Amino acid sequence: MRYRDPQLTCALTIFRSGNTVLRMTTLSFKVTEAEARTIRREARREKLSVSEFLRRRAGTQVAGSSKPRLVRCPHTGAMVFAPVEDRPPLTTEVVRELLTDFP
């Protein structure tokens, strides 16, 4: 593994064979064996990793836990994700603002 000068690296820090790794915090907590089995079973049932399952249960997912709905674009005819209910529309300006802090 090759490391670069720390002053030159940004939040995306570890460079390894072309892959970039984001720094993330790890949370751990204790559960009984039965609780662990239930969490794993429910995550598998929803076809999610345990981490994603718990994130969604904690309410940290932006778009909710339901699968996105596909609709046909009236302009291009392509299948696109439908807008999320009770959320403002995603516009070019909103995307630009979201990307201002992106490294």
- Greater pLDDT, 92 or 30: 30
Evaluate whether residue 2 is within a structural domain. Answer: no
Q: How confident is the model at residue 11 (pLDDT cuts 50, 70, 90)?
A: very low
Q: What's the whole-number mean pLDDT along residues 60-77?
A: 73
Evaluate whether residue 47 is within a structural domain. Answer: yes
Burial classification of residue 76, based on how many CB atoms lie within 10 Å of its CB (0-12 exposed, 13-18 middle, 19 or more buried): exposed
Q: What is the pLDDT of residues 36-66, one digit of tens each?
A: 999 999 999 988 899 888 988 887 655 444 6
Spell out the residues 6+ positions from residue 39 whose beta carbon is closer than 8 angstroms to its own: 31, 50, 53, 54
Give the total number of structural domains in the chain. 1
CA atoms of 55 and 65, how far apart (whole Å): 9
Evaluate whether residue 64 is within a structural domain. Answer: yes
Q: What is the pLDDT of residue 62?
A: 52
Evaluate whether residue 78 is within a structural domain. Answer: yes
- Greater pLDDT, 77 or 6: 77
Q: Which domain covers residue 91, as residue numbers?
A: 34-99
